[in-house]
Amino acid sequence: MNDPIFFRSAVNTLVFLVVAINIKMVIALGLSGFFVNTRWWVKWVAAIFILPWAVPSIPTILSVRFMLNPEWGIINSAIFRWTGLDGPNWLNDPTLALSLSMLMHIWKSLPFWTLILVAGRLAIPAEQYEAASVDGATTWQKFTFITWPSMRSLYLTSTILSMIWTLGDFNSVYLLTGGGPADMTHVLATLGIRYLRLDQVDLAMASIVVALPFVLPLVYFMMKRLSK
């Protein structure tokens, strides 16, 4: 397959898996420590935090796309009103557009994985933290010697599972950028649409098959961890 867009899509997919997933899971791990706080106002923050994951993807992402319109979008309008300068063409730069797609993916799925890790933290016996406090352990020492060893397996399993699901994430890219500009932000999950538009059904099917080298190792490691 000599199509340069195919190779660009494969690279974009790899960047999505390596960069977006790891950033998302590290943030989720940090936020899970915040949301186990028992203060009353934390529950209200948690309810607001869950909203991006709870609301439907299509209207949410399309709304963000309209907000990023360089001519009449609310973001550039605010930039012009406050500074007198024109805002950037958010979705007309391939690097910026792909970065925004990753941010959209993180924003939409972060609440779910944070809740998973919150459940993992709540499963750790409180007596371990109480004993560590008596011994004078710092917050970092509690995380290093209690929290992380207890949650490491859950964290790694969640990361692998998130990578598998992200390979099929069509909405974050296609609804925000449409694969543009110039088909430079396609990932393997959206590449088939491009080929179908060009009446290249065989290449559309091939784009699904070539995702297997990404999927199969992740599934293998996932099953290997679950079988322990």
pLDDT in tens, the chain (228 residues): 577 888 898 899 999 999 999 999 999 999 999 999 888 899 899 989 999 898 888 899 999 999 998 888 899 899 888 988 888 889 898 999 999 999 999 999 999 999 999 999 999 999 999 999 999 999 999 999 999 999 999 999 999 999 988 888 888 899 999 888 888 898 988 888 888 877 787 777 777 777 777 778 888 887 877 776
Give the torsion sign (CA, 90, 93, 99, 102). Answer: positive
Can you say how many angstroms the Cα of residue 136 is from the centroid of all Cα atoms in its chain?
A: 37
Closest to 105 in 3D by CA, of 59, 70, 46, 57: 57
Quick check: pTM over 0.95? no
Handedness of CA 227, 32, 46, 60 (dihedral sign): negative
Nearest to 219 by CA among 152, 165, 169: 165
What is the reported pLDDT for 99?
94
Residue 112: the pLDDT is 95
Q: Which domains does the chain carry?
A: 4-226 (1.10.3720.10)
CA dihedral sign, ordered 60, 66, 68, 74? negative
Contacts of 138 (CB under 8 A, 6+ apart): none
User: CA 201, CA 205: separation in Å to the nearest integer?
Assistant: 6
Residue 129: its pLDDT value, please?
A: 92
Q: What single DSSP character describes residue 137? A: -
Who's near 178: CB < 8 A, 6+ residues apart? none
Q: Does residue 181 have a cis peptide bond before it, meaning omega lies within 30 degrees of 0? A: yes
Tokens of 87: 């805002």
